[in-house]
């Protein structure tokens, strides 16, 4: 990606995570990244921490970059496009992180010939463990998708999906960290109830979830097979699992993903 110049529109947490990941994995160098944001204190922070270029001018960013990452709130996008959307054109790949904003809406807001890819990462990008889904716009090429994959592979794992799946991605992996954090909190509370110190219970709960997820990813086995591996007849694990099944935990998690997916669709229909 030697000829790639990546401009981040918006200097929030996700931009900081992506910049750190790209530089840490040596996908690009410091001179290949610039960030635009109206907050001078945030620009100074990013420049000092990562050594990247910064600007308060969106037009300047668009002129310099050939890959533009839209990392702003969805409601800000119409203002940006109204001011300088025409500055984006055939020489640009636009990667949008704007939740609920369709490829069609983005393509309508930029200049003719602009290639667009939508990305749906999650909060775990801050720990370089994001799950990101990508969807290609009408003009995006395989080469464009390779560039987008490289961006998000630097902070986790990526999958390529048709755009109509992105609401489900939002319901599953976009909102999913909150579900898992709730489970970790409950797991730790259970440890406290059983007599463990709070800090020890929380550490054990977090490491247990991290380890189980890593075991699943590394083994490539079905989660049920791994679950059965640690569930002895008449043992402690089956006693706990039977309580979770009676409480309807499995069905509740499925329903939570469905509810979040429906809400993502509702919000997207407003954009």
Question: Any idea what the CATH number is for the domain that residue 63 is in?
Answer: 3.40.50.720
The CA-based diameter of the chain, rounded to the nearest angstrom, is 67
Distance between CA atoms of residues 1 and 156, nearest Å? 18
> Where a domain ends, among 118, 134, 166?
166
Q: Are 105 and 135 members of one domain? A: yes
Predicted confidence (pLDDT) at residue 254 exceeds the cutoff of 70: yes
Residue 65, C-beta contacts closer than 8 angstroms, at least 6 positions apart: 5, 6, 7, 34, 92
Q: Are residues 152 and 183 in the same domain?
A: no
| In the predicted structure, residue 24 carries a pLDDT above the cut 80 | yes
Structure-block tokens of residue 18: 């992506």
Position 181 confidence tier, pLDDT thresholds 50, 70, 90:
very high
Domain termination residue (choose one: 149, 166, 183): 166
- The pLDDT of residue 221 is 96
Q: Is residue 96 part of a domain?
A: yes
**Residue 1 located in a structural domain:** no
Asked whether residue 146 falls in the same domain as residue 215, the answer is no
More confident residue, 198 or 100: 198
Q: Of 134, 166, 198, which residue is a domain's last?
A: 166
Question: Do 204 and 259 belong to one domain?
Answer: yes
Kindly state whether residue 92 falls inside one of the protein's structural domains: yes
Q: Please report where in the chains the tokens 């935990």 appear, as a residue.
A: 249
What average pLDDT does range 140-162 have in this prediction? 96
Nearest to 3 by CA among 41, 31, 42: 31
Identify the domain containing residue 242 by its residue range: 174-270
With 80 as the cut, is the pLDDT of residue 196 above it? yes
Using alpha carbons only, what angle is made at residue 26 by residues 22 and 31, rounded to the nearest 5 degrees? Answer: 75
Q: Which run of H or E residues covers position 182?
A: helix 176-193
Tens-digit pLDDT profile for residues 33-76: 999 999 999 999 999 999 999 999 999 999 999 999 999 998 89
pLDDT of residue 271: 64
Q: In residues, how long is the chain?
A: 271
Phi, psi of 263, rounded to the nearest 5 degrees: -65, -40
Residue 161 shares a structural domain with residue 188: no
187 is written with which tokens? 């797991």
Our count of domains for the chain comes to 2
Question: How would residue 213 be classed by pLDDT, with cut points 50, 70 and 90?
Answer: very high
CATH code: domain of residue 185? 1.10.3730.10
């Amino acid at each position: 990606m030697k000829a790639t110049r990546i401009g981040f529109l918006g200097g929030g947490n996700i931009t900081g995570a992506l910049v750190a990941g790209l530089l840490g994995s040596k996908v690009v160098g410091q001179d290949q990244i610039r960030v635009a944001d109206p907050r001078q204190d945030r620009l100074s922070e990013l420049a000092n921490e990562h050594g990247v270029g910064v600007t308060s001018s969106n037009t300047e960013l668009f002129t310099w970059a050939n890959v533009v990452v839209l990392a702003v709130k969805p409601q800000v996008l119409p203002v940006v496009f109204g001011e300088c959307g025409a500055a984006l054109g055939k020489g640009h790949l636009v990667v949008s992180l704007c939740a609920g904003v369709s490829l069609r809406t983005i393509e309508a807001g930029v200049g003719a010939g602009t290639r667009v890819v939508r990305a749906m990462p999650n909060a775990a990008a801050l720990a370089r463990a994001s799950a990101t889904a990508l969807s290609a716009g009408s003009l995006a090429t395989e080469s464009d998708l390779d560039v987008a994959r490289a961006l998000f592979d630097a902070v986790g794992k990526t999958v390529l999906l048709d755009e109509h799946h992105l609401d489900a991605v939002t319901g599953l992996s976009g909102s999913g960290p909150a579900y898992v954090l709730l489970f970790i909190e409950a797991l730790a509370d259970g440890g406290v109830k059983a007599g463990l110190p709070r800090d020890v219970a929380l550490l054990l709960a977090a490491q247990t979830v991290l380890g189980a997820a890593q075991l699943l990813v590394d083994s490539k086995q079905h989660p049920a097979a791994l679950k059965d591996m640690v569930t002895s007849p008449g043992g402690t694990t089956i006693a706990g699992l039977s309580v979770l099944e009676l409480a309807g935990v499995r069905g509740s998690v499925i329903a939570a993903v469905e509810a979040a997916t429906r809400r993502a669709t509702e919000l997207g229909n407003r954009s």
